[in-house]
Amino acid sequence: MDIALLVFGFILCLLGIIGSFLPILPGPPISWIGLLLLHLTTAVTEDWWFLGITAAVALVIFALDYVIPIIGTKKFGGTKAGMIGTTIGLILGLIAPIPGGIFIGAFAGAFIGELSNKADNKTALKAAFGSFLGLLTGAFMKFIVTAIFLIFFLKIAIENATALNPF
C-alpha cells in the first residue's frame, strides 16, 4: 500500500507542477495532496506542523493566483472585459498547438477584450500588458511552490525509502 501511495503522491506532485501553467488545474493544492499521501504511508512519520504550514502556503498561493492578474490588469488601466478576454485567450492558448500559446492567448485576449470595451489601442495594450504580467507572476509563484513541494516529497521519500512497505 505504501508504494501505491508513494507513486500516486509523486504523480500528484508532477501534476501540480503542470497545474502551475494550466489554469484548469489548481497546482499547489494538487501538489500538497501528494505530500499528504506521502505522510499517510507507514514509513513516514506524520508531521502535522509540516502539513499544516504547507497547506496554508498552498491555499494562499491558490488564492493569490486569482487576485494578482486582476491587480495587474487594474493597475494598468484594464476593465472586466479585459479580464474576460484574458480568460478566453488562456483557454484558446491551451488548445493552440504553438509554443507559448497560453501567454500569447492571454495577452491577445486581454487586448481584444479591452478593444471590445471601446478602449483605444494604447489603453488596451497597456491593460493587456498588465494582465499578461499578472498571469506570469501567478504562474511563477505557483511553479516555485510546487517545485519546492516536489523537492520536499523526494527528500522525505528518499530518507524513508528503506521503511516503505510494498504491501
Task: Encode pLDDT of 81-129 as tens digits.
Answer: 887 887 788 778 878 777 777 778 888 888 898 888 877 888 888 888 8
Residue 11 is part of which domain span?
Answer: 2-163
Instruction: Give residue 141's pLDDT band: very low, low, confident or very high (50, 70, 90).
Output: very high
Task: Encode pLDDT of 32-73 as tens digits.
Answer: 999 999 999 988 887 899 999 999 999 999 888 877 877 777
Total domains in the fold of the chain:
1
Looking at the predicted structure, is the pLDDT value of residue 167 above 70?
no
One-letter-per-residue 3-state SS of the chain: CHHHHHHHHHHHHHHHHHHCCCCCCCHHHHHHHHHHHHHCCCCCCCCHHHHHHHHHHHHHHHHHHHHHHHHHHHHCCCCHHHHHHHHHHHHHHHHCCCCCHHHHHHHHHHHHHHHHCCCCHHHHHHHHHHHHHHHHHHHHHHHHHHHHHHHHHHHHHHHCHHHCCCC
